[in-house]
Amino acid sequence: MSFAAQAQLNVTYVGNITYSQNLSDIWGYTAPDGTEYALVGVFNGVSVVSLEDPANPTELFFFSGAGSTWRDIKTWDGYAYVTNETGNGLMVIDLTGLPNNASASDWAPTIPGLGTLSSIHNIWIDEFGIAYLPGSNLNNGGMLYVDVATTPGSPIYIDAGPSIYSHDVFTRNNIMYSSEIYAGVFTIYDVSDKSNTQVLGSSPTEGAFTHNAWLSDDNNILYTTDEVPNAPVGAYDVSDPTDVQELDQYRPFETLGDGVIPHNVHVWEDWLIVSYYTDGCIILDGSNPTNLVEVGNFDTFIPPSTGFSGAWGAYPYLPSGLILISDIGNGMYVLQPNYVNACWLEGVITDASNGNGIIGADITILDTPIFDESQSGGNYATGYAIPGTYDILVEKPGYESETVTVTLISGEIIELDVALQPLESFSATGTVNNAVTGNGLGFAEVLVENDQFSYSFTANGNGNVTLENIFPGTYTITAGSWGFVTVCEVVELSENNDNFTLSLQQGYYDDFTFDFGWTATGNAPTGQWERDIPIGTELGGSPSNPGEDVDGDCSGFAYVTGNGGPPVGNDDVDDGQVVLLSPSFLYSPVVPTTLSYARWWVNGGGSGNPDDELLIELTNGTNAFELETVQNSSGSWQTMSFQLNDIVPESGLYSLRVTTADGNNSGHIVEAGIDVFSVETPTGIEEASLQLEILSSPNPSTDEFQIQFNLPFMNERFELIVFDELSRIVETRTMTSTQANLVLGSEWQSGVYFLQVRNGDRISESHKLVKL
């Protein structure tokens, strides 16, 4: 599997014609006198364009049709056959009189037992003059067979295939390859007898949304696309339809993970010509189908966004060799390709100590955007379009990296096997302390990571962690616990420097490096709150879902509503409500207290004026205190602060609650985010106003906990509160100074609990208890 660069490569611009309506598919036609024409699907009809001067394409005729986003076009014996998904059946265009005249009519027969043909998604015409109509309003969208050869321009219905919805089709030698998009498979049929279609085999495709398929000239390899974000172009060995084998996947490197969608793949000799929506036209060398390499591209859609825009269709079969591209919003392009063979690089990455293949090693062709990752057995296969001498970097966490110089040659496979030397590992220890008391902070979360490694731990009851089998290097070490301020420090770890200590200040803070138990609920089918590294989307060229979290904290994580990535609307809040609730924190109005957070809010698109809201409030489980209701979109992180003393009159346990919804089935885009939550006093993060050391043993416990503390005031009433991770109070006790020892927890369920002590408006820090 290889990934490739996106630029204008080995493809030259020749000409362009624009339209006032959006385009769909495209086909070509060559007249008996050798003049080439483009047949362009337009929303409101079909455009017949002369390419006599390809630098200046000229529309000769336009045939109006039912308004439709989808049109597909094929030709046979001087006639074009055009489908649409709105009505009037199959349009038939007589091209035999070009360039002087052309005419069009509709074929919409009433078929006994099926009904009247109205809409059709696609069309294919095989070498025998049989048209295949998938995705029509008849036969459940299954295939219809039509004779367009016997009486040119007057189609004759033959029969129907299986009543299984087909989105696209390719047929050769009476073997039909049906793209059954909703099943996520292509199915291979024998259609020698049109009245008795036989299934030969089937295979799922990577994106589970099989959009189109095209066969290699030798009939052995089928290439496919899935019309979903980040899906690949797939290569499958179909020489034995009963045992289809996937050979390779291709994705464009520079837009990898950006939500780019492949639309249609076509085969011309050894090359694949792909209309790749917002990445334009991409050419792959398919002569080595186990290692597809990009060797040409031309991007017709320049804006840096993804989704269903850009190149819809491609036609590479004109005798002149020109490629025609239909760009949905930018018109029809005429391109001149320079077909070249790839420079392939293949080999095996092994462990030098034992010869075993290494899975997951990174292979990078330096000074290019090309990289690959070794698969089972350590095998890799990649390549580049441009021959030359390159440095190849091979690296894998836990091994010494290697750089090897090779010369890549067009049309040749260069084999490069590399053995990596394993690094020596060691053990390290660390401690997380309470910065106020100096004691170890039990059960704190610890993350140790760099570009190659990531280790996560939970400290023991004394705040200690042990890191086994780690490798020397510079690491960022982050520690956190609810009720304390997350800290991150850069530390050099080695056999000679194998210990670290982090001290955490008391207070309520969360930058979402760790999962401290925020809960997400709601009834919306998409867009639920999730803690993740945000994946950006755009609405009309402006940010919709954030592309990153707030700068300056310890990680890239935030809470966002849906994080499925492009296109916009793919995973926003739809048709319901989503609610995010923080763990509880203790608040006392005696101390001036500021609650802060960063929020993200976008509401747009859809029908009518956007009218959704983002409600942020505090709740103690009984009462709610509104902090703000946000209506205006910002498209950026906004930091908000509130003086709680002006809003919340009573001390107690509170949680931040964030609610949004997409109402009225309006289709509006609704995206929200929360990051960098904190509770502060004028002197810093809110500290416990009752200084009290609490001891627990055993902790964790499978039964009960022995709790010990020294109450600082004689003959005063103290209230002990225990609550769970959902901020629900599970137990309370009222004590005096003579009750400094007690037993708790024998009836609690397994889970994490927090114990706090309150004396009037004074509140202790949280003490974490773990019941196994």
Residue 221 is assigned to a structural domain of this protein: yes
Cα 120 to Cα 93, 138, 546: the distances in Å are 16, 9, 39
736 and 641 belong to one structural domain: no
pLDDT at 2: 42
Q: Is 508 helix (H, G, I), strand (E, B) or coil?
A: strand
DSSP run (H or E) holding 115: strand 115-116
Distance of alpha carbon 634 from alpha carbon 227, whole angstroms: 31
pLDDT at 711: 65
pLDDT at 690: 67
Go through 267-288 and write b for each residue having 16 or more CB atoms within 10 A of its CB, e for each that does not: bbebbbbbbbbbbbbbbbbbbb
Residue 128 is assigned to a structural domain of this protein: yes
* Region class of 727: left (phi > 0), else alpha (psi between -120 and 50), else beta: left
Residue 301 is assigned to a structural domain of this protein: no
Go through 399-408 and write b for each residue having 16 or more CB atoms within 10 A of its CB, e for each that does not: beebeeebeb
Which residues have a Cβ under 8 Å from the Cβ of 435 and sit 6 or more positions away?
503, 504, 505, 506
365 and 495 belong to one structural domain: no
The number of helices, as runs of H, and strands, as runs of E, in the chain is 0, 69
Contact (CB, 8 A) for 594 and 676:
no
Distance of alpha carbon 691 from alpha carbon 696, whole angstroms: 16
Which residue, 26, 79, 33, is CA-closest to 57?
A: 26
Residue 764 is assigned to a structural domain of this protein: yes
Both tokens of 144, joined, read 């219809």
347 and 224 belong to one structural domain: no
40 and 70 belong to one structural domain: yes
Q: Report the Cα 248 to chain-centroid distance in Å.
A: 20
Looking at 372, 393, 420, which one is the last position of a domain? 420
Looking at 398, 420, 442, which one is the last position of a domain? 420
Looking at 625, 650, 685, which one is the last position of a domain? 685
75 and 131 belong to one structural domain: yes
435 and 401 belong to one structural domain: no
Which residues have a Cβ under 8 Å from the Cβ of 228 and sit 6 or more positions away?
207, 208, 209, 261
Contact (CB, 8 A) for 499 and 429:
yes
Cα 422 to Cα 78, 148, 352, 449, 464: the distances in Å are 67, 66, 7, 19, 29
Cα 516 to Cα 483, 559, 691, 727, 746: the distances in Å are 10, 12, 23, 12, 24
Contact (CB, 8 A) for 431 and 461:
no
The CATH number for 128's domain is 2.130.10.10
Residue 18 is assigned to a structural domain of this protein: no
Q: Which amino acid is at 653?
A: L
Cβ neighbourhood burial of 378 (10 Å; 0-12, 13-18, 19+): buried
Give the angle 466-468-472 at the CA atoms, nearest 5°: 105
Share of the chain above pLDDT 90, in %: 73
Residue 288 is assigned to a structural domain of this protein: no
Q: Is the peptide bond before 698 cis (omega within 30 degrees of 0)?
A: yes
pLDDT at 605: 83
- How many Cβ atoms are within 10 Å of 136's Cβ, its own excluded? 28
The CATH number for 372's domain is 2.60.40.1120
Q: Name the stretches of the chain with pLDDT < 50.
A: 1-7, 683-687
pLDDT in tens, 394-426: 999 889 999 999 999 999 999 999 999 999 999
144 and 262 belong to one structural domain: yes
84 and 204 belong to one structural domain: yes
> Could you say which DSSP state residue 350 is in?
E
The CATH number for 655's domain is 2.60.120.200
Cβ neighbourhood burial of 629 (10 Å; 0-12, 13-18, 19+): exposed
pLDDT at 3: 36
The CATH number for 727's domain is 2.60.40.380
Cα 77 to Cα 111, 149, 266: the distances in Å are 25, 8, 21
130 and 90 belong to one structural domain: yes
Which residues have a Cβ under 8 Å from the Cβ of 712 and sit 6 or more positions away?
690, 691, 692
560 and 456 belong to one structural domain: no
DSSP run (H or E) holding 36: strand 36-42
Residue 329 is assigned to a structural domain of this protein: no
Contact (CB, 8 A) for 155 and 147:
yes
- Rg of the chain over Cα atoms, rounded to whole angstroms, equals 33
pLDDT at 606: 73
85 and 123 belong to one structural domain: yes
Q: Which amino acid is at 628?
A: E
Contact (CB, 8 A) for 453 and 473:
yes
pLDDT at 687: 47
Which residue, 604, 525, 530, is CA-closest to 560?
A: 530
pLDDT at 682: 56
Distance of alpha carbon 225 from alpha carbon 85, whole angstroms: 21
DSSP run (H or E) holding 110: strand 110-111
675 and 757 belong to one structural domain: no
Residue 362 is assigned to a structural domain of this protein: yes
pLDDT at 555: 95
Distance of alpha carbon 174 from alpha carbon 168, whole angstroms: 16
**Are β-strands 343-351 and 418-420 bridged in parallel, bridged antiparallel, or unpaired?**
parallel
Domain of residue 533: give its range.
Answer: 519-685
Our count of domains for the chain comes to 5
Both tokens of 504, joined, read 């955490």
Strand arrangement, sheet containing 71-76: 71-76, 79-84, 90-94, 103-107
What is the pTM for the complete model shown? 0.75
Cα 270 to Cα 175, 217, 279, 535: the distances in Å are 21, 8, 21, 36
Q: What are phi and psi of 214, to 5 degrees?
A: -145, 140
Which residues have a Cβ under 8 Å from the Cβ of 229 and sit 6 or more positions away?
259, 260, 261, 306, 565, 566, 567, 570
> Could you say which DSSP state residue 390 is in?
E
